[in-house]
Chain A
């Protein structure tokens, strides 16, 4: 399973755009890149998934360069309620297991 590396923590202010970059150098050809969000005292929640280039939904955008060795989760105009832990995962093609790691703790200040 491909290992991911992401910042332990990040700080931001309300209204700013936040970009969290994750590296996954040994991603395999058919693996997907998946991001989850976890608020305190709750289970993680899926937010976005991509294979290449750019994916956007109502919550975030995901940018994946051509070599797919990294990905960037972009949160536009964050608010206090975006304070959470964000997990980057490489989802293997050939197994149903996901490896969550420790994630990036995002703190948004007023």
Chain B
């Protein structure tokens, strides 16, 4: 079974702090994704990566950056956390092949509260 592990289930941070959310997958997937999920807004893509050191902006990249130094690990960074970044953050991974790329495997999520 594919496993996508997010480092924290719950996180509480202060405004202005630098926050790191870590995600690790164990199936050698090329693609990795970060989403945030808010009530009434569904899942929105923040960033994704299709290879080590490669990244592409999603729909809402402002206030976030990412890092992918190894194939299995994809980090989301909040440079200076703000209260409007309080949300559920979901990491996912997939293969790149046609058809298979549409099957994303998700982690359990990190519920981040910024106070």
Contact = CB atoms under 8 A, between A and B. Distances in A.
B74 interface: no
Contacts, number: 57
Interface string A79-110: 00000000101010100111111110000000
B50 A45 contact: no
Interface string A38-57: 00011111100100000000
A96 B108 contact: no
A87 B103 CA distance: 13
Interface residues of A, number: 21
Chain B interface extent, by class:
20 to 34
Given A34-B102, A43-B90, A46-B103, A96 B42 contact: no
> From DSSP, what is the main secondary structure of chain A's interface residues?
loop
Given A96-B50, A97-B45, A97-B48, A46 B99 contact: no
Contacts of A103: 42
Contacts of A100: 35, 42-44
A98 B102 contact: yes
A96 B90 contact: no
B101 interface: yes
Given A46-B104, A102-B40, A96 B109 contact: no
Contact of A97 (B58, B96, B99): B58
B48 A32 contact: no
Interface string B36-70: 00001111110010100000101000000000000
Contact of B42 (A34, A41, A97, A102): A102
Contacts of A91: 101-102
B106 A43 contact: yes
Interface in A14-50: 32, 34, 41-46, 49
Interface of A: 32, 34, 41-46, 49, 87, 89, 91, 93, 96-103
